[in-house]
Structures are given as C-alpha cells and as structure tokens.
Amino acid sequence: MKPTKMNHLGIAVQDLDTALRIYEAMGLSVKKVVDVPEQEIRVAFIPIGECTIELLQPTSADSAVAKHLQKRGEGLHHLALQVGDIEAALAQLKSQGVRLIDETPRRGAEGRIAFLHPRSTGRVLIELVEKEGLA
C-alpha cells in the first residue's frame, strides 16, 4: 500500500475567487476549476512542481468543508497521497487498525478517493487518491 507520491494539499477557503487572486499574484496558474456536487464543493487546481494545491470552497452550508471552516477557519484541510490500488490500500490499513472514514472509495474531482480518520493519523485528515486511468 505504499503511496506513490504526494498528490495534493487541500486548503479550505471561504471565497475561492479571493483566494485565487493571492495564488495568481505569486505567479501560480490555475489549471481548472470544477464543481464536485457529491461533496458539495467547488475546487480550483493549482499545479506546483509534481504536486497540486487544491482550494476548496463549500457550495452548501452542510458540506464537510463548510463544517471544517466553521470549526477551524480557513487553512489546511487535508493532505492527499496517491496510491495505485485504493481498495487494497483501504483493506491493508483497516487490517492494521487504522480508522477509515470511507470503507469503500468514492468519486473525487480527478479519480477515486477515500479518507482516513484524523484520530488514526495524528489529527491530520488524509485522503487516498487513485487517479483515473492509473489503476
């Protein structure tokens, strides 16, 4: 289950357009902006080196990102590690006692994803990502 690379850092923001202006002022370019209705978020992808910064703006007051913003404010939401076989990764982690938020993968913005519970990962929300076409 060894992750193949850091896929992205997710940063929760109240206002995506305002946040984008700051990253663009640093000379970074937005690759794309997509809505992810299943997670009730709007996501901007900002590539930097071999990693990506994902800015996450909630589209619903009931979304997980909206609740994160209410509790913790803007800032780091999660880190995402890329894996080749997300089902195998989840099975291995579960067998080793890691608490999972997602027992099975779900659709993400660019592939299949699953989250590990922060109580099992040193209070850091970790997302596993299996990129489309790479499994």
| Domains delineated in the chain | 5-131 (3.10.180.10)
Give the whole-angstrom CA distance, residue 107 versus residue 111: 6
Give the whole-angstrom CA distance, residue 98 versus residue 64: 21
**H helix and E strand count, the chain:** 3, 8
pTM of the complete model = 0.91
| Reduced 3-state DSSP string for 35-71 | EEHHHCEEEEEEEECCEEEEEEEECCCCCHHHHHHHH
pLDDT digits (tens, 9 = 90+) for 109-127: 889 999 999 999 999 999 9
Q: Examine the pLDDT at 88 and tell me if it is beyond 80.
A: yes
Beta bridge partner(s), residue 107? 112
pLDDT digits (tens, 9 = 90+) for 32-81: 999 999 999 999 999 999 999 999 999 999 999 999 999 999 999 999 99
